[in-house]
Amino acid sequence: MKRIEILNFKSPNRAPLIVEGFLFGEESKGPSVAIVGAMSGDHINQLYVASRLVDYLTHKEEEGKISGKILVIPAVNTYALNMGQPFWPLDKTDINMMFPGYAQGETTQRIAAKLFESLQGYDFGIILEGRRDQGMCLPYVKLIKSGYEDLEAAKDMGMRFIHYREYSPIETVMLQYNWQLWGSKALSLVFGKNGSIDHRSSGEVHSALVRFMAKHTILDVSSFEGFSSNVIGPEHITLLKASHAGIFDSLVACGDTIEKGDTLGRITDALSGKKLEKIIAPLGGIVTCQYSHPLIFQNSIAFRIASLN
Amino acid sequence: MSVIEEVFSIDLPVGEQFRIQRCRYTPASGETTKRISIVSGIHGDELEGQYVCFLLGEWLRANPEKIKATIDIYPAINSLGIDSITRSVPFYEVDLNRIFPGSKNDFLPAQIADGVVSAMKGSEIAIDIHSSNIFLREIPQVRIAKSQAQTLVPLANKLNIDFVWVHDAVTVLESTFAHAMNTLGTKTLVVEMGVGMRLSKAYGHQLLDGLLNLMACEGFLDIKPLDVRMPIQSHVGEVAYLNASGPGLFVPSIEHCQMIEKGSVVGQIVDPLSGQVLDEVIAPIGGILFTLRAYPIVYEGSLVGRIFGENE
Ligand SMILES: [Zn+2]
Q: What is the CATH number of the domain that holds A166?
A: 3.40.630.10
Nearest-by-Cβ selection for A300 from B94, B108, B249: B108
Distance CA A126, CA A136 (A): 20
Q: Are both A46 and A157 inside the same structural domain? A: yes
Residue A175's pLDDT band (cuts 50, 70, 90): very high
Q: Are both A83 and A203 inside the same structural domain? A: yes
What is the whole-number distance in angstroms between the Cα of residue A276 and the centre of ligand 1?
37
The percentage of chain A sitting over the pLDDT mark of 90, rounded to a whole number, equals 95
Q: What is the pLDDT of residue B169?
A: 81
Contacts of B298 in chain A (CB under 8 A): 12
Model pLDDT for residues B40-63, shown as the tens digit of each residue? 999 999 999 999 999 999 999 999
Residue B267's pLDDT band (cuts 50, 70, 90): very high
Q: Are both A53 and A111 inside the same structural domain? A: yes
The average pLDDT across B235-258 equals 95
Model pLDDT for residues B57-108, shown as the tens digit of each residue? 999 999 999 999 999 999 999 999 999 999 999 888 899 999 999 998 778 8
The string of DSSP codes covering A196-208 is: S--HHHHHHHHHH
Q: Are both A206 and A260 inside the same structural domain? A: no
Question: For residue A75, is pLDDT > 90?
Answer: yes
- Report ipTM (2 d.p.): 0.89
Q: What is the pLDDT of residue B248?
A: 98
What is the whole-number distance in angstroms between the Cα of residue A8 and the centre of ligand 1?
31
> What CATH number does the domain located at B236-310 have?
2.40.50.100
Q: What is the pLDDT of residue A243?
A: 93
Closest residue of chain B to A238, computed from CA coordinates: B105
Question: For residue A309, is pLDDT > 80?
Answer: no
The average pLDDT across B7-27 equals 96
Q: Are both A60 and A205 inside the same structural domain? A: yes
Near ion ligand 1, which residues have CB within 5 Å?
B 43, 46, 130
Q: What is the pLDDT of residue A191?
A: 97
Distance CA A254, CA A291 (A): 10
Distance CA A176, CA A205 (A): 18
Q: Are both A270 and A202 inside the same structural domain? A: no
**Of A231, A254, A280, which residue is a domain's last?**
A231
Can you give the residue range of the structural domain that contains A295?
236-306
In angstroms, what separates the C-alpha of A18 from chain B's closest C-alpha? 14
Q: Of the candidates B102, B193, B91, which has an alpha carbon nearest to the alpha carbon of residue B142?
A: B193
The average pLDDT across A203-216 equals 98
**Pairing, β B163-167 against β B232-233:** parallel
Q: Are both A194 and A264 inside the same structural domain? A: no
The average pLDDT across B117-138 equals 97
Please list, residue by residue across B183-195, b when 16 or more beta carbons sit within 10 angstroms of its beta carbon and e when fewer do.
eeebbbbbbbbbb
Query: Which residues contact residue A59 at a Cβ distance below 8 angstroms, ignoring those fewer than 6 apart?
Result: none
Q: Are both A151 and A53 inside the same structural domain? A: yes
Q: What is the pLDDT of residue A192?
A: 93
Q: Are both A36 and A167 inside the same structural domain? A: yes
Judged by CB atoms closer than 8 Å, whether chains meet at A10 and B246 is answered as yes
Q: What is the pLDDT of residue B170?
A: 84
- Class assignment of domain B2-230? alpha beta
Q: What is the pLDDT of residue B107?
A: 83
The average pLDDT across A225-240 equals 95
Question: For residue A28, is pLDDT > 80?
Answer: no
Q: Are both A119 and A36 inside the same structural domain? A: yes
The answer, for A84 touching chain B at a CB cutoff of 8 Å, is no
- Count of domains forming chain A: 2
Mean of the per-residue pLDDT values of chain B: 96
Q: Tell me the whole-structure pTM to 2 decimals.
A: 0.93
